Amino acid sequence: MKFGKEFSSQMVPEWQAAYMDYNQLKTLLKNVLNLQRRNDVSGSNPMSQSRKPSKKLKRKLTLYRAFSGLSVSRRKSSSPRKMEDEVIVVTEVPPPANSDSDGFYQTTFLMTMADTGEVELVFFRKLDEEFNKVLKFYKDKVSEVKAEAEELSKQMDALIALRIKVEFPMMGEFRTNSSINGKKIVPSQDQPEAPSSNETGEVMSHMDAIQEVETGNDDEEEISKRPPLQVLNQVRINVDPETPISTLKNVFGSLMPDLSFSKNELKKAEGRLKQAFVQFHQKLRLLKSYSFLNLLAFSKIMKKYDKVTSRNASKSFMEMVENSYLGNSDEITKLTERVESTIIKHFSNGNRSEGMKVLRPQTKKEKHSVTFFLGLLCGCSIALVAAIIVSIYARNLLENEKGRNQYMENIFPLYSLFGFLVLHMILLSGNIYLWRRFRVNYPFIFGYKEGKRSMGYRELLLVASGLTVLTLAAVLSNLDMEMDPRSESYRALTELVPLGLVTVVLLILFCPFNIIYRQSRYFLIQSAWHCLCAPLYKVTLPDFFLADQLTSQVQAFRCLEFYACYYGWGDFKKRSNTCQDSEIYKIFYVIIAVVPYWSRVLQCLRRLFEEGDYHQFFNALKYASTIVAVVLRTIYSFRRGATWRIMAAASSGVTTVYSTYWDIVMDWGLLNRTSKNPWLRDKLLVANKNVYFIAMVVNILLRLVWMQLILDFQAPFLHRKAMIALVACLEILRRCIWNFFRLENEHLNNVGKYRAFKSVPLPFYYDEDKSM
């Protein structure tokens, strides 16, 4: 792999604009090379032939050089380069007086009179610009992590003091000259006396709150002091997870409760602070990688310059780079070592392998078994589809109009639920593949921890294909149209197959055992619970993203309602139901369709009050208008009439225009007239701009599928239930197209603000008033 591609593949996606623009510098070097070739062809550069001495001559001259011997000895540095051999001079320009800005580096090109001097001068100007950009970004990020390290140090002081207070509430001051196992105990000031040496040894084994210094060393010094317990008087704690009850308490009470010194409180504080250190270590690791990659990129580009121009400028420039803050600073390395030591010492009982296992990022390995079973299940699905088609035509099931209508009215809605789920999973797996293809950092955006057992697009396809096989097998077993001629009823076991399939899916979804991607299942259940309890939970992107998915699965929720009506009040043995005649069923038919949209309204209102973003008010208004349109369309489907038809059409038209504008302009960030890409946005991940215009047109067309309900369009070859299912599938397709561009826009917003890490809430809050 060429370095340019490897360089791009290892970039932090959100920091991409802060890296050295290697491709642009490489393009400038190609301009230098092209100009050299034109000069060589025209004959205006007679010295071009003498630039590179013959390799044969160079090899022969080495045969006559003096032998330096085999002994290793230090030789004096080579003589300083003469001024006439100098190509560039790099100087550091200090910042102006009384200015907060940093200094910068400037390269002076000394060969401006050469044939390619002007083009090379442009190259070095761009090189300086890129280096100063990288240097400034690196300095800013180092300052940020240093400030964060100070905050984490204060948090550790409070945690260690809390450990002492919780585990040994009566612990007193240690004797000054006491020692344990040949190690001297360094006491802290203002501590009461410890009761016994045995208890002291227990403290030392449980935690390293007291500094140990080897007595055998003459240069005994205290590495760090034990934090005094008085630090607990200055802190408050916030370790309880956000729940509906805690949200209501925070509305009427204090946001940060006082310490209760319980073991449960200590455990939660340790877990939260450990997570903060792991996240901080990841930030340090990527910042160190940023420095290394840019240093390597500058070295590569200067070697290319020397090769193209046959000059020796890389040595002077790389000396400056290595002596700069980017190449010479070791603060990140020291911070990384201290974080690793903290994790090992305070969170892993001194077990280095366990501590490093926590800090080491888990890389997901692609398993061949996933591909094998995916292919196997897809093949089984195709075979089952063929078997269903053969069974229908062999038994002439389509010729019996009464039986066909009976099946479509009673059985088809039961299985269409799984069709909606499978289609959504397949399209979501396509979303994940495209996000990975275009380097959208979706795990960070969703706050989803990628591990060995996390789900990618292949795993999601595997689950979808497994559900497809189960559904098709159930459909094949449920095609039996034979009935008892005396009772005119079907076999109960056959008719209970759809209900059994729903039960199996729910059992797998809520299975507590660590099988079938438990991490992903629990992540989905947690987000769904947050949507259901809105606005009592803080709104995060996974929550409202899932709520948006649920708004496109309204027909699936109605299928669940039909399950309850069909098996609870219908005569499933005779494949008949009176659901459509029940007023209660009709009321819940409307309520179930409204619930996902109402959840989004409440989420938008909570974000409005918490974040103060007035856009959320208009977003809530959009979902409220959708609720009105859905209710009126549903009432029209039950009651009919010109009045209801006009009201349904008017409300649906308004919400379609409103929602389409919000999709394209607010969610996708497109239709910007002043952008570098006309009517799109400044930054695009897809190189072909036509894709965005096609997506906008498709989104508008799929937004208009509600017109089928108003115009009562019916295809002669499709049953009414099949038409409803088709419209629902088109809405799922529109939603998954929306998913890609919505997350692309979110990713580019993070890139614009260099947000590559999620903020982990810290357990302790320092009360400055008490510290005075």
Query: Residue ranges of the domains in the chain?
Result: 1-39+86-93+102-164+253-361, 369-437+454-513
Does the pLDDT at position 630 exceed 60? Answer: yes
Q: Indicate the residue type of 5.
A: K
Q: How confident is the model at residue 75 (pLDDT cuts 50, 70, 90)?
A: very low
Under a CB-based contact definition with an 8 Å cutoff, are residues 705 and 727 in contact? yes
What local confidence, expressed as pLDDT, does residue 82 receive? 46
Q: 755, 24, 13: which is closest to 438 by C-alpha? A: 13
Average pLDDT rounded to a whole number, residues 7-16: 88
What local confidence, expressed as pLDDT, does residue 725 receive? 93
DSSP 551-604: HTTHHHHHHHHHHHHHHHTSBGGGTB--GGG-HHHHHHHHHHHHHHHHHHHHHH
Does the pLDDT at position 754 exceed 90? Answer: no
Q: How confident is the model at residue 250 (pLDDT cuts 50, 70, 90)?
A: low
pLDDT in tens, 344-356: 998 888 888 888 8
Q: Calculate what percentage of the chain has a pLDDT beyond 90.
A: 43
For residue 729, give the 3-state DSSP assignment: helix
Which single residue is written with the structure tokens 């007595």? 215
What local confidence, expressed as pLDDT, does residue 581 receive? 85
The better pLDDT of the pair 361, 652 is held by 652
The better pLDDT of the pair 759, 692 is held by 692
What local confidence, expressed as pLDDT, does residue 50 receive? 44
The better pLDDT of the pair 531, 175 is held by 531
What local confidence, expressed as pLDDT, does residue 184 receive? 43
Weakest-pLDDT range from 119-123, 491-495, 523-527, 634-638: 491-495
pLDDT in tens, 698-722: 999 999 988 887 877 777 778 888 9
For residue 275, give the 3-state DSSP assignment: helix
Report which listed range, 209-213, 412-416, 446-450, 751-755, is most confident. 412-416
What local confidence, expressed as pLDDT, does residue 260 receive? 76
pLDDT in tens, 722-745: 999 999 999 999 999 999 999 999
What local confidence, expressed as pLDDT, does residue 246 receive? 67
Tell me which DSSP letter residue 676 carries.
S
DSSP H helical ranges for 70-228: 117-167, 197-206
What local confidence, expressed as pLDDT, does residue 111 receive? 76
Average pLDDT rounded to a whole number, residues 449-475: 88
What local confidence, expressed as pLDDT, does residue 236 receive? 81
Q: How confident is the model at residue 469 (pLDDT cuts 50, 70, 90)?
A: very high
The better pLDDT of the pair 194, 386 is held by 386
Neighbours of 514 (CB within 10 A): 9
Does the pLDDT at position 599 exceed 90? Answer: yes
What local confidence, expressed as pLDDT, does residue 620 receive? 96
Angle CA 676–734–509, to nearest 5: 120
Weakest-pLDDT range from 195-199, 329-333, 675-679: 195-199
Does the pLDDT at position 126 exceed 70? Answer: yes
pTM for this entry: 0.82
Q: Calculate what percentage of the chain has a pLDDT beyond 70.
A: 80
pLDDT in tens, 18-67: 999 999 999 999 988 888 888 777 665 544 444 444 444 445 555 555 55
Does the pLDDT at position 224 exceed 50? Answer: no
DSSP 437-501: HTT--HHHHHTPPP-TT---HHHHHHHHHHHHHHHHHHHHHT-----BTTTTB--HHHHTHHHHH
What local confidence, expressed as pLDDT, does residue 229 receive? 76
Average pLDDT rounded to a whole number, residues 374-395: 92
Angle CA 36–40–43, to nearest 5: 135
What local confidence, expressed as pLDDT, does residue 21 receive? 92
What local confidence, expressed as pLDDT, does residue 199 receive? 45
Q: 286, 358, 268, 328: which is closest to 135 by C-alpha? A: 328
What local confidence, expressed as pLDDT, does residue 554 receive? 95
The better pLDDT of the pair 378, 208 is held by 378
Average pLDDT rounded to a whole number, residues 251-273: 76
What local confidence, expressed as pLDDT, does residue 95 receive? 75
Does the pLDDT at position 524 exceed 70? Answer: yes
Q: How confident is the model at residue 483 (pLDDT cuts 50, 70, 90)?
A: low
pLDDT in tens, 678-699: 999 999 999 999 999 999 999 9
What local confidence, expressed as pLDDT, does residue 76 receive? 43
Q: How confident is the model at residue 584 (pLDDT cuts 50, 70, 90)?
A: very high
What local confidence, expressed as pLDDT, does residue 256 receive? 60
What Rg, from alpha-carbon coordinates, does the chain have?
A: 35
Average pLDDT rounded to a whole number, residues 615-625: 95
pLDDT in tens, 101-111: 677 888 888 87
Does the pLDDT at position 172 exceed 70? Answer: no
Q: How confident is the model at residue 227 (pLDDT cuts 50, 70, 90)?
A: low
What local confidence, expressed as pLDDT, does residue 617 receive? 95
Under a CB-based contact definition with an 8 Å cutoff, are residues 377 and 691 in contact? no
What local confidence, expressed as pLDDT, does residue 61 receive? 52
Tokens for 552? 């496109």
The better pLDDT of the pair 545, 213 is held by 545
The better pLDDT of the pair 115, 152 is held by 152
Does the pLDDT at position 217 exceed 50? Answer: no
- Which residues are CB-contacts of 493 (< 8 A; sequence separation ≥ 6)? none
Q: How confident is the model at residue 312 (pLDDT cuts 50, 70, 90)?
A: confident
